[in-house]
A and B are shown apart, each in its own frame.
Chain A
């Protein structure tokens, strides 16, 4: 150690008092803390300090403002499954969910998530296209109220499958020991797989009966066919072969029997260039079939029998000798036409009364319509339930004959009056429901089924026609296929040695026994059709006179209540679906609610107007419903839609908690069948209250405008150029024409003749393009977001001549001739006053017009956008650039077609609008190819530009040009009547370029010079009368 000492300074050497004390501190000189913290000294900060602080402050603020970039993880597959390429959709053949019976469809799957249903275009027999509810049903897979696994009621405790099975088997054994019966309440079950398992179950529990239950039945037809021909079946109707269709109250294009196939077949025969069919529709309420008919005639539903009888008498006896008093002599005329088209016509009856149906059968037999048009051999398996079985079950259950009940997809607690009393008499109740519904809530245990998209199945919707289901996603929750469950409860070993599930193995065996072909090929194709059976004309076994006497003996009431189904939610079994509720009803354009439809004369008498709340008293039951005054509805008829008023779990949010009123308790029972026409004492009064229905269209008349062109077939045959209705305008344009000679030129043609307004395209478009659901209140505020809508206009037939005095502003005086079509609001107002009644409101003719962005060449929207957010593509599309849009809404104001939709709120990630866009499960259905729009931007039909791009990419990768009509857009794809045709105008072979050249093709509001890419084909009605719009 060195002895050298180095002093820090003289103070150390001297060891002054000051030094000694300060040296003990870490910093001997002390820190200038006081200086820093005292106010006085901080003001002494000099320029340098200021710059330092300023610089630091600025830097710190900048750093703080630099938000961390959100981390988005894209995790690659460790082992990439075969065929799965992120970004490339896969299509699996499967069967539809909503119609339950089974209908071939394709499921579009992206990265393991089913996102859309598409029609299986190979399955021609089943009818091309899917309806709105069929499309919506995909959301049931991603429903937040789904049962996540077996639940024991009481405490609603989730349990394991092993516990559940033990609990169920123990209880079933107890019931069997007590010698009580077990009921399996199914729906209209066409699943062979389920039947097989139930058979196994029955082997173990022989005292088991299968009770089929449907909320709405067509047993009148079943029984009539049994009596008439000895076959209790629903026939297959071939509307594609029928040249003359006479329907008495059967809404075959809407909700009657297998309407999907009917719509498709019907349209094939409605092309005016070919041999166009003629369609007469007698009906009380305004239905889709009535709207599409050539001649729509008013008939109260409780007079169906009389009308049929009159027709029968004329056909068989040559005249109506019985002197039935019915208005008009239409039936004479129709009878003559029917005779002229023997064997090529069909008479339909929508009543569920067996006698009405027997007379219908007799008429059809008389006309030789079996077996070519009405096929009893290759019958339909849907609607094939006789409620007799269920009613017997109810009676037996009341007497406590049943010890256990297993509900398979059925929900009688919702649709059958006072069912809870019956349930209370059954000790053990099991449900296989996948959602928290009315019946499952009453059960002791829920053993949830897998979703149809998660399981294997085989269904037989028609005799000899099979449809397969295959899983398109691994089970989202812990459900188990019900057929597997039954096998398990029948003590079958459901554990398989390999990776395959029990239902797969079972299906494979079943298919090889039943069909015996290459299983994989069958599954890939999705359906299998056996050779159709041929049949001779059946012999008639029933006694028509009994039925005639029954019809004559009915009491004559002047008021009736008709319970019907709406195309949106139908019988209500899939009502937990916002898409189905926001789809406007094709007739009334109401969303979300059911209501009382009233004819105009009745409404005036009862002092009711639209949105008044009426009190309806039937059979001692009181129901309050808002009113719609429905043009075309017959005086004395009142209508209410079934399928509403479902009660879902409390966790269900917003409008899904409040789904209209359940009117199933009003369904009557007559002649051993359910009766949907109630003509007991009906009392309807106004409550004086208001309830605003959410309607997407409130103005119903077309105001005589040249928007929908219409002509009669006779006119069209005489002059295919239709010079009378086709006004061509000599347009001068200041705009430079676009040059589309290179590449593609996309366009659509919409055939107003075959479009029936079913609105399937509306839903298909919404799902494809992630169009938000906005709920009842926003629709009331006229803010529905649908990119594609169906405009529906009425015009009325004047029943008498009248000279009208009208002010010059409204076009001056005019004289109305009998048979003229009235379509201007003011004219109708004046005419009604002059005539003194509203009877002509029953004689309505309806047109539907799908309306979406017209992709104008000279688009008014494009010029006015200040930031060029909407521009024209070189392929003729009017494009919308969402992230450039600042939301001035000028484009929408300047759109003559009013097809642009604005994001008034943030519809995603928003509790208020949580219809699936805001929860993690629901979001799985979002199409990843389409941007979810933010608040404050405009949107509209993009002509499915993502589909165009995808098809072009495939072609490019394969080094070829796009094939003619290789792909199509969402609306066109789903149209059952092929009314919307999309394609490339630059391809001379494409369907669209051929249709574009038709004489019938026109642009809406052509004179404006917007030059749309969409053309419409003039509607042609098959009637002699010319249409004279006034």
Chain B
């Protein structure tokens, strides 16, 4: 097999096969560490905040938020797009990089996929609870019903969202679970307690590690990767159409689909980096998640960040060139209006900050990458806020121009989704192998 000598090995520290198994199974087979407990407790507290604020919203009404007659979507849909965006990196890493035979993905794809699924959970909360009558949340599903000849509106981008997100979630979930099966079987085989043997045995679905099983497994993985690949592009394209197909200046833009997809990958990698840097540090996985990985991912960030930045500028130039005063005003208002601070925060975080990754030092220094990854996350949240709120708060008729500031309920729900996300993630880190053992074992001696 051809090996590239200039590449660093994908797994460092001279790990053996048994080292891999031991390292990855350690958190599952041992009591959680104090730092796990600390993180988990904070996450659960935030999860309770989520439960409380959502309950309050449902009890009192959407009026507990500050959305108003002109800005009917605020933090809710901003958060929705933010979380869906984050969800993109997982599938990209596991599907597209699999198809491209990028082996460096193997150490990180498991956690990236987990992140995707949890992010989509978080995202799904917002379109559901932003409904005035959340108890009728199943009505957008095209179910045969007894309400008469009622059917859904296939023209509505919100309906497309329903399909896109649910497809994405189910495919990602299956793909993730499929990848987990051999590793779960490993845990089962090493199990020392009855319970562990039973549960892992149950979820291993009778995996026996035979060559036939592996053969089928790889075929299915490849097929699922093939199915997932268009989803990486389609989901955020469809999300972007919520805005692009509307008539509101600042939303009605044909550039949105590619711009949103790039933004999603950008933010997704930002979040993957944030998480992996923590995991790597807390769980001592420096040998598996190496600077090589960091560097590869920061390059993706640099690329997608630049694409996003280009999109911002293109958008503005097109608006200026359009000769359409409403569009021109919408963009001038973004830059110099009352929400200019949000616009310039976005510009700095998404366009300027990632440019530091041109430097090798920046790409390989974990603490610095961590800071930038947080900045990227903040920037991408602001991007959605800028698009949604600044477009709505001043649209066609100046009589309806308003300002919008979130209430504590809206902030609480947003913080609460981090609680949900991290609760899931901590549970994942405790109960499931964070690194794909089976795949990593194939690349121990590989520096392809």
Bitwise interface map of A from 891 to 921 toward B, beta carbon under 8 Å scored 1, else 0: 0111011101111111000000000000000
Q: Which of A869-889 contact B (CB under 8 A)?
A: 884-889
**Closest residue of chain A to B72, judged by CB?**
A889
Give the distance in Å from the alpha carbon of A938 to the alpha carbon of B155 in the complex. 19
Whether the pair B132, A897 counts as a contact (CB closer than 8 A) is no
Alpha-carbon distance A346/B243, docked complex (angstroms): 56
Interface membership of A705, Cβ < 8 A = yes
Question: Closest residue to B404 on the A side, CB-wise?
Answer: A782
Residues of chain A from 543 to 578 with CB closer than 8 A to chain B in the complex: none
Q: A791-B399, A884-B150, A898-B397 are in contact. Are A703 and B329 (CB under 8 A)?
A: yes
Select the residue from A701, A702, A887, A905 with max chain B CB neighbours within 10 A: A887
Given contacts A699-B399, A782-B402, A884-B150, contact A809 B336 (CB under 8 A): yes
Let me know if B396 is at the binding interface, CB within 8 A. yes
Q: Is B153 an interface residue (CB 8 A)?
A: yes
Stretch in A279-287, A483-491, A652-660, A860-868 touching the partner: A860-868
Residue of B nearest to A1010 (CB): B247
Q: Check: A937 CB closer than 8 A to any chain B CB.
A: yes
Interchain nearest-CB distance for B339 vs A (Å)? 14
Taking the complex as formed, is B335 at the interface, i.e. its CB lies under 8 A from any CB of chain A? yes
Known: A860-B247, A905-B63. A890 touches B158 (CB 8 A): yes
Among candidates A701, A890, A1004, residue contacting B398 with C-beta atoms closer than 8 Å: A701
A896 touches B247 (CB 8 A): yes
Instruction: Please encode chain B, from 120 to 142, with 1 for each CB lying within 8 Å of some chain A CB and 0 for all others.
Output: 00000001001111101101100
Q: Residue on A with the closest CB to B70? A: A898
- Min Cβ gap A617→B in Å is 33
User: Are B69 and A866 in contact (CB-based, < 8 A)?
Assistant: no
Tell me, yes or no, whether B365 is within 8 Å of chain A by CB. no
Establish whether residues A809 and B335, one from each chain, have CB atoms under 8 Å apart when the complex forms.
Answer: yes
CB-based contact B401/A698 at 8 Å: yes
Q: Does A793 contact B (CB under 8 A)?
A: yes
Known: A863-B155, A868-B150. A782 touches B69 (CB 8 A): yes
Residue of A nearest to B132 (CB): A887
Q: Which of A784, A792, A865 has the most CB of B within 10 A?
A: A865
Within the complex, which residue of B133, B137, B158 is in contact with A864, where a contact is CB–CB below 8 Å? B158
CA distance A809 to B392 in the complex (A): 19
Q: Quick check: A867 and B131 within 8 Å, CB to CB?
A: no
Q: Are B397 and A707 in contact (CB under 8 A)?
A: yes
Contact B69 A898 (CB under 8 A): yes
Determine if A1008 is an interface residue (Cβ-Cβ < 8 Å).
Answer: yes
A44 within 8 Å of B (CB atoms): no
Q: Does A783 contact B (CB under 8 A)?
A: yes
Q: Apart from A864-B245, A893-B73, A896-B396, what 6 extra A-B contacts exist at CB < 8 Å?
A: A697-B399, A778-B63, A886-B133, A889-B132, A890-B72, A890-B73
B400 within 8 A of A: yes
Q: Are A699 and B69 in contact (CB under 8 A)?
A: no
- CB-CB nearest in chain A for B242: A890
Alpha-carbon distance A308/B268, docked complex (angstroms): 74
Cβ proximity bits A702-713 to B, threshold 8 Å, 1 near / 0 not: 111101000000
Is B152 a contact partner of A887 (Cβ separation < 8 A)? no
Q: 15 A-B residue contacts at CB 8 Å? A: A702-B398, A705-B325, A781-B68, A782-B69, A793-B398, A809-B336, A851-B399, A860-B246, A864-B158, A887-B62, A889-B132, A896-B397, A904-B61, A936-B134, A937-B133
B415 at the interface (CB under 8 A from A): no
Contact B68 A782 (CB under 8 A): yes
Let me know if B395 and A886 touch, CB within 8 A.
no
Q: Cβ of A867: which chain B residues have Cβ within 8 Å of it?
A: 139-140, 150, 152-153
**Binary contact readout B319-338 vs A (1 if CB under 8 angstroms, 0 otherwise):** 00000011001001001100
Give the 8 A-B residue pairs with the shortest CB-CB distance, closest first.
A887-B132, A936-B132, A904-B63, A791-B399, A782-B68, A898-B400, A889-B72, A936-B133
Is B203 engaged at the interface, CB distance under 8 Å to the other chain? no
Collect the chain A residues with CB atoms within 8 Å of residue B156's CB: 863-866, 890
Query: Quick check: A936 and B62 within 8 Å, CB to CB?
Result: yes
Cα of A872 to Cα of B40 in the assembled complex, Å: 52
Q: Which of A700, A906, A1005 meets B396, CB within 8 Å?
A: A1005
Known contacts A809-B336, A901-B69: does B153 contact A886 (CB below 8 Å)? no
Smallest CB-CB separation from B60: which chain A residue? A905
Q: Is the CB of A887 within 8 A of B396?
A: no
Q: Cβ of B151: which chain A residues have Cβ within 8 Å of it?
A: 868
A810 contacts the other chain (CB 8 A): yes
Among A707, A894, A897, A1004, residue most surrounded by chain B Cβ atoms (within 10 Å) = A894
Query: Nearest-CB distance from B284 to chain A (Å)?
Result: 46
Is B258 part of the binding interface, using a Cβ–Cβ cutoff of 8 Å?
no
Kindly supply a per-residue 1/0 record for chain B positions 185-203, scoring 1 wherever the CB is within 8 Å of any chain A CB and 0 otherwise: 0000000000000000000
Tell whether A699 pairs with B398 under 8 Å between CB atoms, given A865-B153, A893-B72.
yes
Report if A789 contacts B (CB, 8 A): yes
- Name the CB-closest residue of B to A898: B400
Query: What 1/0 mask marks residues of chain A from 937 to 954 whose CB sits below 8 Å from any chain B CB?
Result: 110000000000000000
Q: How far is the CA of A887 from the CA of B57 in the complex (A)?
A: 13
How far apart are A720's CB and chain B's nearest CB, in angstroms?
Answer: 27
Report how far A433 CA is from B326 CA in the complex, Å: 55
> In the bound complex, how far is the Cα of B289 from the Cα of A779, in angstroms?
54
Residues in B neighbouring A1010, C-beta threshold 8 A: 247
Once bound together, how far apart are the Cα atoms of A792 and B66, in whole Å?
25
Are the CB atoms of A893 and B248 closer together than 8 Å?
A: yes
Given A703-B398, A867-B152, A935-B132, CB of A902 within 8 Å of CB of B246? no
Question: B395 CB to closest chain A CB, in angstroms?
Answer: 7
Pair A886/B68 contact, Cβ less than 8 Å? no
Number of B residues with CB within 8 Å of any CB on chain A: 52
The reply to whether A793 and B69 contact each other, CB–CB distance below 8 Å, is no
Q: Please state if A781 and B397 are interface contacts (CB–CB under 8 Å).
A: no
User: Does the CB pair A699–B401 fall under 8 Å?
Assistant: yes
B254 to chain A minimum Cβ distance, whole angstroms, is 14
How distant is B43 from chain A, measured CB to nearest CB, in Å? 30
Bound complex: CA A892 to CA B132 (Å): 13
| B246 adjacent to A903 (CB under 8 Å) | no
Chain B contacts with A in 359-407, Cβ cutoff 8 A: 392, 394-402
What 0/1 pattern do residues 2 to 45 of B give for CB contact below 8 A with A? 00000000000000000000000000000000000000000000
* Chain B residues, Cβ within 8 Å of A938: 132
Q: Which residue of A lies closest to B329 (CB)?
A: A703
* Contact flags A251-278 to B (C-beta < 8 A → 1, else 0): 0000000000000000000000000000
Looking across the interface, which residue of chain B has its beta carbon closest to that of A935? Answer: B61
Would you give the shortest CB distance from B208 to chain A, in whole angstroms?
35
Instruction: List the B side residues contacting A896 at CB < 8 Å.
Output: 247-248, 395-397
Contacting residues, chain B, for A851 (C-beta < 8 A): 397, 399
Q: What chain B residues lie within 8 Å of A889 (beta carbons)? A: 67, 72-73, 130, 132
CB distance from B111 to the nearest CB of A (A): 33
B356 within 8 A of A: no
Determine if B68 and A783 form an interchain contact, defined as CB atoms under 8 angstroms apart: yes
Pair B332/A810 contact, Cβ less than 8 Å:
yes
Q: Which residues of the partner chain A approach B137 to less than 8 Å between Cβ atoms?
A: 886
- How far does the alpha carbon of A904 sit from the alpha carbon of B133 in the complex, in Å? 10
Rounded to whole angstroms, the CA-CA distance of A890 and B76 in the bound complex is 13
Choose among A705, A885, A897 the residue that contacts B133 (Cβ–Cβ < 8 A): A885
A936 x B68 contact (CB < 8 A): no
Distance of A697 Cα from B402 Cα, bound (Å): 8
Q: Considering the complex, which residues of chain B in the window 137-183 have a beta carbon less than 8 Å from any beta carbon of chain A? A: 137, 139-140, 150-153, 155-159, 162
B97-138 CB mask vs A (1 if < 8 Å, else 0) is 000000000000000000000000000000100111110110
Chain B residues, CB < 8 A from A784: 69
Q: Tell me, in angstroms, the Cα distance from A793 to B60 when the chains sit together.
A: 36
Interface centre among B130, B151, B394, B396 (most CB of A within 10 A): B396
A937 cross-chain contacts in B, Cβ below 8 A:
132-133
Question: Is there an interface contact between B397 and A888, defined as CB atoms closer than 8 Å?
Answer: no
Could you say which of A888, A893, A903 has the most chain B C-beta atoms within 10 Å of its C-beta? Answer: A893
Instruction: Report yes or no: B133 in contact with A894, Cβ–Cβ below 8 A.
Output: no
Contacting residues of chain A (679-704) with chain B, CB-CB under 8 angstroms:
697-704
Residue pair A888, B402 in contact (C-beta under 8 Å): no
CA distance A703 to B66 in the complex (A): 26
